[in-house]
Amino acid sequence: MGWDLLVITIAPFVVSLVCWWAPVALGRALTLASGLLSLGLALGLVTARTTTAAAGWLRVDALSVVFLVAVTFLYAATSIFAIGYVRPGGDGTVTTRYNRRFFAGLNLFAWAMAMAPLVNGLALLWVAIEVTTVVSALLVAIDGTDGATEAAWKYVLIASMGLGIALLATVVMYYAGSSVFGAVHELFYPKLLGSAARFPPEVVRLSFVLAVLGYGTKMGLVPVHTWLPDAHSEAPTPISALLSGSLLAVSFYAILRFYQIAQRAIGPTFPREVLLAFGLVSLAVAALYLARQRDMKRLLAYSSIEHMGILAIGMSFSAPIAVVGVLLHVLAHAAAKGTAFFGAGSMLRKFGTKDMTRLKGGVGALPFSGPMLVLAVLGLCAMPPFGMFRSEFLIVSGGLADRHDALVAVLVVLVLLATLGLTWFSTQTMLSPTAEGVLRGETSLWIVGSMVVGLVALAVLGVHPPGQLSDLLRRAAHELGSGA
């Protein structure tokens, strides 16, 4: 048992090393193979119970698997998209070198994000997320433009500050554990969860607030979100998809690990109130900013902040159905946001700009990826039959069951306001008449294929999630203390 964890741990890292020196075509093929292999192994863990490997240093439970599936799904889909989006080398050393660096970085980034839900313990979790920062910052700046360099530098500064706070949260939790285990002990999850009820309450409260503030920086919670729109806008589109659909989710996973400990040590009320405060502010700010965006990728970035706010609000409800909805929302957001960024990449390749005032007639110019981008945006707006409709319906139902009617009303109003910004994008840029001189046709069938994969997954999550996946979500919700 546990060999599948080891393969997921090893394969992307090895492929990353190979991509540094291998021919570009081989690197692209290995990236796709690694993504599909990682996804297949992650799906194989859906029905498994708690699994360990490497003498307990690697461990997955139901909560881990939910986030591992989200990461590996987007890793596989992005591998398909990147083949069509990133031009193959061959005409010059610069192009070949760029391709090698890009695919090596993509695999290393995916490896670091997959390691976060695989490792067993708060300290190793912090290390994994720190590695994602270093690798993703280099990928944000890989195009070498002034905007990309500035965005990467801003990202490094703000994320490093946030992870410094997250490290302090880890140290404070270690101190809380030392009151039970002594001065020297491990930060493994089973050990912490089993004894959390004996931790000093005030110390745990401090650790949780620091964790939300620190990891919330990487998650994109307001007011520590300011790096996110710039990084998502300036990064190559495949990296933007991974940042939005996977990295933010992994950071949320880190917060949930602290949440597990906190609600066992001090009860669920305080952690839920903290998440509610951050969630409401994040959703409100994102909804307002969505209405004024004119950069296509920045629009999707603020949509990510909106959905992170929804996740935080959903965790503030005590009803088990709301927690199940939050976990389903993680998966649906990965599929929807990845597909939306893939469509934005297709638009960028076709029109050569992200400025929505200059983008007209996307559906007419791109016969397949254009309509699919509209569908992905509708999915982000929680329109049926897509997964986000189901997940947000579950969250709202949980809020009503929890007798938070006023809060649910605020949630719905803010989501509708955000929807107006996204639908403006659809009508003004995608459904308007195509300008004269724009040739009709797709830029790559690989891009079309990646979007088909994302939309199919989004539809399955909305119409009828597989029974094994539904059981996984219920088990993960139970691990979070919801009683589901």
Does pTM top 0.75 for this prediction?
Answer: yes
Q: How far apart are CA 444 and CA 361, in angstroms?
A: 18
pLDDT per residue rounded down to tens, the chain (484 residues)? 588 999 999 999 999 999 999 999 999 999 999 999 999 999 999 998 888 998 889 999 999 999 999 999 999 999 999 999 987 654 444 588 899 999 999 999 999 999 999 999 999 999 999 999 999 999 999 988 899 999 999 999 999 999 999 999 999 999 999 988 888 888 899 999 999 999 999 999 999 999 999 999 999 999 999 999 999 999 999 999 999 999 999 999 999 999 999 999 999 999 999 999 999 999 999 999 988 888 889 999 999 999 999 999 999 998 999 999 999 999 999 999 999 999 999 999 888 888 887 888 888 889 999 999 999 999 999 999 999 999 999 999 999 998 888 999 999 999 999 998 888 877 788 888 877 777 888 889 999 999 999 999 999 999 999 999 999 999 999 999 854 4
Please compute, for residue 276, the number of CA atoms within 13 A of its CA located in the half-sphere on the CB side.
15
Sign of dihedral through CA atoms 381, 387, 393, 394? negative
> Distance between CA atoms of 311 and 286, rounded to whole angstroms?
13
For 467, other C-beta atoms within 10 Å of its C-beta total: 9
Reduced to 3 states (helix: H, G, I; strand: E, B; else coil), residue 483 is coil
> What b-and-e string marks burial along 293-305, b requiring 16 or more CB atoms within 10 Å of the CB?
bbbbbbbbbbbbb
At 244, list the tokens: 């939005």
- Rounded CA separation 4/11 (Å): 10
Q: Give the list of residues 6+ apart from residue 128 with CB closer than 8 angstroms, or none.
A: 112, 113, 115, 116, 119
Domain chopping of the chain, boundaries: 268-484
Helix H or strand E encompassing 7: helix 3-21
Check whether the bond before 23 is cis (ω within 30° of 0). no
